[in-house]
Amino acid sequence: MREKDFSKYLLVIIIVALAILVFLLIKPFVGAILGSFALTYLFYPVFRWISLKTGRENLSSFLTCAFVIILLFVPLGFILNTLSREAYVGYLVSKQKIVGIENLVADCQQQNALCSTLNYFRDILSQPKVKYQIQTSIEKVTTYIVREISDLVFSIPHLILNFFILIFLTFYLFKDGKRLIAKIKHVLPLRPSYKDHLFNRIEKVTYAVTFGYLIVALIQGAVAAIGFFIFQISSPITWGAVVAFLALIPFVGPTLIWLPASLVKILSGMLSHNTGEWVGGLLLAAYGLLIISGIDNILRPKIIGEKGNIHPFVVLIGVLGGLPVFGLVGIFAGPLVLAITITLLELYANERGAKE
């Protein structure tokens, strides 16, 4: 082997080894790093507007980061506090209803199918074993929610560190992001036309996924709030905001709110012989399934597919794979990684076809 070839291969080995070490170093903070890129992309127009007003990059970056903290993390803390409080209150109310079920429900004297059904379910729910199982299930669910929130509280030091990295990196990406992209473009061993195509693709997919998820989440939250108001769920605006936040979790997010709410209304109506209550619960369930969750299944793939020119199946696989790997940021990072991979394969195929 010639000395020149040996030096080249040795350099490649060293670069690969260092890349592996760098990955191991940043692995605990991958979520925060990817989150900083997502926040920079989302709020860069805000930074640019503030920068035009102040003319100072450092000050503009600081003000934009402060705006991000107020806009995102203050509502997040409020939502977590609301979920924790409502879970505990819901447990107490449900326990009281189950324990005092005989006093809350009167026999339905009319001889019709509705009364027979109500009495049948009431008799079942009045049995000690059934009441015990229901109460135990409620305790398990409540304990799980409280435990998860407690784990979140105990992991505060780690969260603070990740939060610091997130904001710190976001601060510098605002002011130095363009220069960083220019350096990455310069280092990439691709033709200039391929570089432009790759970065245009990244920007298009990032915009499509970000726009698709955020817009659909806001729409779902608004639609949910309207539905909760119509069907007389307490604090509809608050729960609509919670739905909007949970809508970022694919497929099951909003269901975690509207399904328990509808089941509580159905059960409460049947136990109290309030036909309007349990019918309202059924209608809320239908509204949640067809309207609230239906928006997610119809509108989101359409927006992402049209804006990003990416197949919905790629988005689905990217999200499902990205969530366990990157956490919540995987909603954006997963589809983006797949899109970049597909684009590089397309460029490789074009290059190989041109040579042949």
* Domain stop point among 118, 152, 187: 187
For residue 353, what pLDDT band results from cuts at 50, 70 and 90? low
Axis-axis angle for helices 156-187, 128-154 (nearest 10): 60
Residue 94 sits in the same domain as residue 197: no
9 belongs to a structural domain: no
Q: How far is Cα 264 from Cα 93, in angstroms, rounded to an integer?
A: 11
Q: Confidence class of residue 181 from pLDDT cuts 50, 70 and 90?
A: confident
Determine, yes or no, domain membership for 256. Answer: yes
pLDDT computed for residue 31 by the predictor:
77
The better pLDDT of the pair 185, 88 is held by 185
65 burial type by CB count under 10 A (0-12 exposed, 13-18 middle, 19+ buried): buried
Task: Decide which of 123, 155, 187 is a domain's last residue.
Answer: 187
Pinpoint the alpha helices (H) of the chain: 3-26, 30-54, 57-68, 74-99, 101-104, 113-126, 128-154, 156-187, 192-230, 236-246, 255-271, 275-287, 293-308, 312-326, 330-355
DSSP letters for 92-148: HHHHHHHHTHHHH-----S-SHHHHHHHHHHHHHHSHHHHHHHHHHHHHHHHHHHHH
Tell me if residue 234 falls in helix, strand or coil. Answer: coil
d(CA 60, CA 76): 24
End-to-end alpha-carbon separation of the chain, Å? 29
Same structural domain, 93 and 234: no
Q: Are residues 135 and 174 in the same domain?
A: yes
Q: Who wins on pLDDT, 151 or 325?
A: 325
Q: 8 in a domain, yes or no? A: no
In a domain, residue 316? The reply is: yes
Mean pLDDT of 260-280: 76
Query: Is 6 inside a domain boundary?
Result: no
Q: Give the domain extent around 68.
A: 29-187
pLDDT at position 272, please? 66
Which residue from 90, 141, 126 is spatially nearest to 261, judged by alpha carbons? Answer: 90
Total number of domains constituting the chain:
2
Task: From 140, 161, 187, give the residue that closes a domain.
Answer: 187
For 11-16, what is the mean pLDDT? Answer: 82
| Ramachandran sector of residue 251 (left: φ over 0; alpha: ψ -120 to 50; beta: rest) | left
Please choose, from the candidates 158, 162, 135, 152, the residue with its C-alpha nearest in 3D space to the C-alpha of residue 32: 162
pTM of the model: 0.66
Q: Do the Cβ atoms of 208 and 304 come closer than 8 Å?
A: yes
Q: Residue 63: its pLDDT value, please?
A: 92
175 and 310 co-located in one domain: no
Cα distances from 235 to residues 73, 96, 240, 254, 277, in angstroms, run: 21, 21, 9, 16, 17
**261 with 140, same domain?**
no
Q: Is residue 170 part of a domain?
A: yes
Write down the pLDDT at residue 317: 83
Asked if 174 and 266 sit in the same domain, the reply is no
The predicted pLDDT at position 121 comes to 65
4 within a domain of the structure (yes/no) = no
CA dihedral 16, 17, 18, 23 (to 10 degrees): 90
Reading the block at residue 40, the tokens are 């920079």
Length of the chain: 356
Question: Mean pLDDT throughout 210-225?
Answer: 87
- Tokens, residue 3: 């000395």
Average model confidence (pLDDT) across the chain:
77
User: For residue 105, what pLDDT is reported?
Assistant: 46
Q: Are 309 and 204 in contact (CB under 8 A)?
A: yes
CA gap 2, 204 in Å, rounded: 45
Question: Are the beta carbons of 122 and 158 closer than 8 angstroms?
Answer: no
**Are 49 and 97 contained in the same domain?**
yes
